[in-house]
Structure 1
Amino acid sequence: MTYWPRWPPTQTPAEMLAAQSCLRQYSPSWTSVLQLAYGYVALTSLLRLVQSDHSAVQRHRSTVVECLRETDASLSRRALELSLALVNSSNVQDMTKELQAFLKSCPPDLRADCASGILLAAERFAPTKRWHIDTILHVLTMAGTYVRDDAVANLTQLIGGAQELHAYSVRRLYHALARDISQQPLVQVATWCIGEYGDFLLENCEETEPLKVEEEEVLALLEKVLQSHMSLPATRGYALTALMKLSTRLQGDTNRIRQVVSIYGSCLDVELQQRAVEYNMLFQKYDHMRAAILEKMPLVEHSSPQADEKAKGSREVAPLSEDQALVPTEPQTSKLSDLLDLLDDTSGDTRQPPPLQPSPEGGVVHLLDLPSTPPPPASIPTLKVFEREGVRLNLSFTRPPGTPALLLITVTTTNSSEDDVTHFICQAAVPKSLQLQLQAPSGSTATARGGLPITQLFRILNPNKAPLRLKLRLTYNHFGQSVQEIFEVNNLPVETWQ
């Protein structure tokens, strides 16, 4: 076999000529070892040159696509890498069709790379939102178990932001779910979409074929997902939440939904049982709040590295004052604290505390009052409440002098590991005798190696000076895995509540 030297990077024209020569010697119809070697050397050389001379490598795109059909694993893998590198805004639709055809028949060890590559290319170069949604659905239908963990969150974010495509998306997903409930990421997206926009299934949509769906069919499909042995616990959680949301979106009787939810109140899965118990309480005790609590989810802005850097720069240029940071941005959180009910009040006092009001002075001390101003209270030590694989959660406390019943807790999440923490969400609950407001976090990504942390402010009003307890629920993605932690914080300093 002819030995091909390793050309140095400075000889790019010579390397291109060598790669073109190898491509002329290679033909997909030949299967000899020498011909496969020519093809592998050519693809390797072109892959090294694609960044420096993208247009020159584009001329060989048809030959590269033909190499995807090769039975040789090393050759098809190198062709896949080069095909993904050749995708741009002008050829994304044609290349995606070729890659989807390859995904349908490629070996299992290449499916994850191919599926992830298609999703990334669609995210970067999608010509329209509808094409983007169709592409992701096609990948989830064929290789749902091979996609990345953030595929479900990205698609729900995309559908939620395309208001004009809500009816189209829910009908497409309903059809896909009715055909196959084995692809778990697809099932999770479909159940989420049916729960949010299930009312569109009963209406006519001009962009899809006429579809006649009865309410009983929709509920039966979600019950099938709940009862299927192929459904993961997270998938059952999506389905149970979808049923609850349909109780406010469909016009029929909700007794069937009540019965299903009550059954899972004794489920062996603790997470699903807790969710079912909370939903039962919502039916029984807070039915007047059900429609407001189960309304459609608001659009959450998608965070990107560019946006994080921009936000970091803006905070450095113009940091917020304390008074600005205390303005509530999510007033509905106080209503949800009763629903969560993660902590019961042992004293039995369920009186509603008075609403939070700013001090009449606006937090500014007049110069004439300075001599009579009491000394500032002693600082409360910072408390570390969570640490796992480099992810640390610290609580710092502040008691405003003018409002002794108010406690401000700043939650700071840092990441010293080698991988970013993404889609971070921190939820909290307190006993009913206290009032809790959660401010919007600074972001959802904690960058690796001690980069930009995530901060969030909790405001707790404790007029009766009851012992303070917190229950925290953390969800995030780290090292390619979805992590969820639920724990109580019972060792808060005495100064936080006395």
Structure 2
Amino acid sequence: MARDLAPDVERLLQFRDPNIRKKAALCSIRIVKKVPDLAENFINPAASLLKEKHHGVLLTGIQLCTDLCRVSAEALEYFRKKCTEGLVKVLKDVVNSPYAPEYDISGIADPFLHIRLLRLLRVLGQGDADASDCMNDILAQVATKTESNKNAGNAILYECVETIMSIEDNSGLRVLAINILGRFLSNRDNNIRYVALNMLMKAITVDTQAVQRHRPTILECVKDSDASIRKRALELVYLLVNESNVKPLTKELIEYLEVSDQEFKGDLTAKICSIVEKLSPEKIWYIDQMLKVLSEAGNYVKDEVWHALIVVITNASNLHGYTVRSLYRAVQTSGEQVTESDAVDVIEVAIKHHTTDLTTRAMRIKDIIVQDKGNLVLELQQRSIEFNSVIEKHQNIRSALVEKMPVLDEATYSGRRAGSLPAAVSTSQGAALNLSNGVAKAAAAPLVDLLDLSSDDTPAPSSSGNDFLQDLLGVDLSPASSQAGQAQKSGTDVLLDLLSIGSPSAQDSSFTPNALSKSSQDDKTSIGALERLFSPSAPSIQASSPAGGSPMVDLLDGFASGPPLPETNGPAYPSVVAFESSSLRVMFNFSKQPGNPQTTLIEATFMNKSSVIYTDFIFQAAVPKFLQLHLDPASSNSLPESGNGSITQKLRVTNSQHGKKALVMRIRINYKVNSKDTLEEGQIGNFPRDL
């Protein structure tokens, strides 16, 4: 229908009545959008409309030319060569035109025509130096002559800044544009300030130095009462930090941390910690700043941050004394004089507190260990029995257990946090035991090897902080963990003896129920220990599995074998655009395991929308406690430009509240653009409802 009507509409563009010409131009816009290959028919008629004196016809003609340029390279080249000078003259006439009541808004002559002309000039100047040179003078005139005390004037200034930042390089004009944005930051209107912060985020990639001049004003926006402005300003400050200004900027942010609102402390703390860790000039300054942040916002500091601080401190032997004194002063300033007795009392109170997590409660002394031998939380019960066994029965290995912890490998830890190294627990070889959360742990490891106190290959601290098991045994039990180590087979008896369980068959280290049952019949004492673990009246230990066997660890701690990510078609679900920015698109494809509705398999596909290749690409994700997340390694760490390729990565999400709570996920994507680090963050909540 559009094809049939196009010739008639084209003729009406030359009709004598200006209202008909205006309507014909509007109709042409829709035809071009519907049928882009008809664009060439409208190039000459549209160009003739740019000479109109009637503002309504001129406005629609400019919009038609803009849309033609977007769908047709031929039209773009034609208007760029033939019409740029004419458009510049039209804009100059509008800027300098006398007062006209029918077109005037708040003392500004036809701001709508101003804006349409600036947008068309932006399209024509982008990527063309000659066209850009032609419009430089008029853009400077608009930027300096337009009043900024009215909303209509601010709208024109904003479009002028957008055009200046889009056309080819002119450093003087860009400084002028960034200064306009700086004035916007002082405006009382929150919308104008937010728009300015967004534009400065783009401008910083073009002229960082010009944006740096407005750093004090941007820092004031971090303290704004509007949460949206605070968050955007904080992101901009984060991009402004470099080696030369990291100290004063960090000082400003930490001072504001002391008085900031509770709901903003989390974001502010995360940004400060990231800045300090990435740009710290020296270790002593790093330690000082981290201790200040911990003192001001301890509960808002993520586990991986203080884990990293411990790694740095352990590797800086010359700063151990300084760090201890600094920590002691921090404790003193928070209250009265602290004595050794006070410290012990605080620890005991913390252990008994009902909100204390497992990591804290598992750090106990002998008297407290005994209290949890019958605890309903299986993790605490198991730890209590194991440590009590070490204290009372295994004097020969106590000295090895309490040896000085080896210094953590700072380089390895940093690499793992960046995603370049697998989080392996141990490098010794042995048969692997699959745990319920997908972590492969080697079977039959001696307790000393499990504790990893004497190994040179010390695991990095976990960032999850879920329980004492991962801190003590070096096992990463976080749902998102995808790597684990192996250990030797030879020390099985030591671990079994600690748990009062008989030795397994020498031929099989995987501990099938039959082997365990036979061992229990041969050793009445060990059966008694396991009976006390589960039921005072249980006559014997029975274990069954559809596969005919299950790991011994499954009996102790509910660690069933975690299945690998299977390849299955499952039910069909629509793909979603999980995340999209100006430079990146993330698509999620979903499938289910047959018979397992709680588990969702996700294939993430990452597409690069820019014209520059992304390197060192890392995808990270976090989920609430009712979800468990497992990530496979990505297909690559290099993302081709302009959608010429993609990176895929598989995820598995298990929803313990399936049918009650929907999936939700926070993501963080790091990559480098021309060797410059880039970070994108977001929250995904548009998962299909029945997942």
If the TM-score is normalised by the length of the shorter chain, which range does it land in? 0.5 to 0.7
Q: Is the 8 A contact 2:181 2:200 kept in 1?
A: no
Distance of 2:328 and 2:373 partners within structure 1 = 27
Q: Which SS does the other structure have where 1:81 is aligned?
A: helix
Task: Indicate how the Cα distance of structure 1 residues 131 and 336 shifts in structure 2: closer, same or farther if over 3 A, else same.
Answer: farther
Task: Indicate how the Cα distance of structure 1 residues 446 and 260 shifts in structure 2: closer, same or farther if over 3 A, else same.
Answer: same
Task: Indicate how the Cα distance of structure 1 residues 87 and 305 shifts in structure 2: closer, same or farther if over 3 A, else same.
Answer: same
Q: Deviations over 1:267-306 (max 9, x none)?
A: 3322122212211111111223223212232214314279
Superposed displacement of residue 100, structure 1: 1.4
Question: 1:136 and 2:312 equivalent?
Answer: no
Equivalent residue number for residue 616 of structure 2? none
Question: 1:19 and 2:144 equivalent?
Answer: no
Superposed displacement of residue 420, structure 1: 4.6
2:300 to 146, 149, 162: 146
Q: Deviations over 1:7-64 (max 9, x none)?
A: 454456445422312323653xx6x32xx44433332222212223222222221221
Task: Indicate how the Cα distance of structure 1 residues 10 and 102 shifts in structure 2: closer, same or farther if over 3 A, else same.
Answer: farther
Superposed displacement of residue 222, structure 1: 1.7
Task: Indicate how the Cα distance of structure 1 residues 171 and 223 shifts in structure 2: closer, same or farther if over 3 A, else same.
Answer: farther
Equivalent residue number for residue 236 of structure 1? 361
Question: 1:48 and 2:202 equivalent?
Answer: yes
Equivalent residue number for residue 88 of structure 1? 242
2:501 to 336, 340, 344: 344
Q: Is the 8 A contact 1:266 1:273 kept in 2?
A: yes
Distance of 2:273 and 2:566 partners within structure 1 = 29
Kindly report which structure 2 residues correspond to 1:65-464, keeping only aligned pairs within 5 A, or say none.
65-173=219-327, 176=330, 213-214=339-340, 216-237=341-362, 239-240=363-364, 257-298=365-406, 299-300=408-409, 301-304=412-415, 338=494, 341=498, 344-345=501-502, 346=516, 347=519, 385-387=561-563, 419-420=619-620, 448-449=633-634
Letter in 2 for 1:130: I
Letter in 2 for 1:449: A
Task: Indicate how the Cα distance of structure 1 residues 235 and 306 shifts in structure 2: closer, same or farther if over 3 A, else same.
Answer: closer
Task: Indicate how the Cα distance of structure 1 residues 480 and 52 shifts in structure 2: closer, same or farther if over 3 A, else same.
Answer: same
Structure with higher Rg: it is 2
Distance of 1:143 and 1:170 partners within structure 2 = 19
Distance of 1:390 and 1:134 partners within structure 2 = 48
Superposed displacement of residue 175, structure 1: 5.7
Q: Is the 8 A contact 2:238 2:275 kept in 1?
A: yes
Superposed displacement of residue 71, structure 1: 1.8
Q: Deviations over 1:243-265 (max 9, x none)?
A: xxxxxxxxxxxxxx321221222
User: How many residue pairs are counted as aligned between the two chains?
Assistant: 315
Superposed displacement of residue 103, structure 1: 2.4
Superposed displacement of residue 156, structure 1: 2.5
Q: Deviations over 1:427-469 (max 9, x none)?
A: xxxxxxxxxxxxxxxxxx97643569xxxxxxxxxxxxxxxxx
Distance of 1:38 and 1:417 partners within structure 2 = 40
Superposed displacement of residue 170, structure 1: 4.0
Superposed displacement of residue 84, structure 1: 1.1
Superposed displacement of residue 155, structure 1: 2.4
Q: Is the 8 A contact 2:332 2:338 kept in 1?
A: no
Task: Indicate how the Cα distance of structure 1 residues 89 and 180 shifts in structure 2: closer, same or farther if over 3 A, else same.
Answer: same
Task: Indicate how the Cα distance of structure 1 residues 259 and 163 shifts in structure 2: closer, same or farther if over 3 A, else same.
Answer: same
Task: Indicate how the Cα distance of structure 1 residues 286 and 167 shifts in structure 2: closer, same or farther if over 3 A, else same.
Answer: farther
Letter in 2 for 1:21: I
Letter in 2 for 1:62: P
Letter in 1 for 2:501: D
Letter in 1 for 2:402: L
Letter in 2 for 1:112: G
Superposed displacement of residue 225, structure 1: 1.7
Q: Is the 8 A contact 2:273 2:290 kept in 1?
A: yes
Q: Between the two proteins, what is the percent identity of the paired residues?
A: 30
Q: TM-score, normalised by structure 2?
A: 0.39
Q: Which SS does the other structure have where 1:150 is aligned?
A: helix
Distance of 2:235 and 2:372 partners within structure 1 = 46
Asked which structure has the greater RCO (Cα within 8 Å, sep 6+), the reply is 1
Distance of 1:114 and 1:226 partners within structure 2 = 30
Superposed displacement of residue 136, structure 1: 2.1
Q: Which SS does the other structure have where 2:242 is aligned?
A: coil
More divergent stretch after superposition (48-57 vs 165-174)? 165-174
Task: Indicate how the Cα distance of structure 1 residues 336 and 174 shifts in structure 2: closer, same or farther if over 3 A, else same.
Answer: farther
Q: Is the 8 A contact 2:203 2:211 kept in 1?
A: yes
Q: Which runs of 5+ in 1 are unaligned?
A: 182-210, 241-256, 312-320, 323-327, 351-382, 392-414, 423-444, 453-477, 482-498
Superposed displacement of residue 101, structure 1: 2.3
Q: Is the 8 A contact 1:16 1:46 kept in 2?
A: no
Q: Deviations over 1:111-157 (max 9, x none)?
A: 22211111111111112222212222322333333333422322222
Task: Indicate how the Cα distance of structure 1 residues 174 and 262 shifts in structure 2: closer, same or farther if over 3 A, else same.
Answer: farther
Distance of 2:421 and 2:167 partners within structure 1 = 36
Distance of 1:448 and 1:111 partners within structure 2 = 33
Q: Is the 8 A contact 2:185 2:218 kept in 1?
A: no
Q: Is the 8 A contact 2:290 2:309 kept in 1?
A: yes
Equivalent residue number for residue 594 of structure 2? none
Letter in 2 for 1:23: G
Equivalent residue number for residue 11 of structure 2? none
Equivalent residue number for residue 216 of structure 2? 62
Distance of 1:151 and 1:309 partners within structure 2 = 18
Alignment root-mean-square deviation, CA:
4.4
Superposed displacement of residue 92, structure 1: 1.1
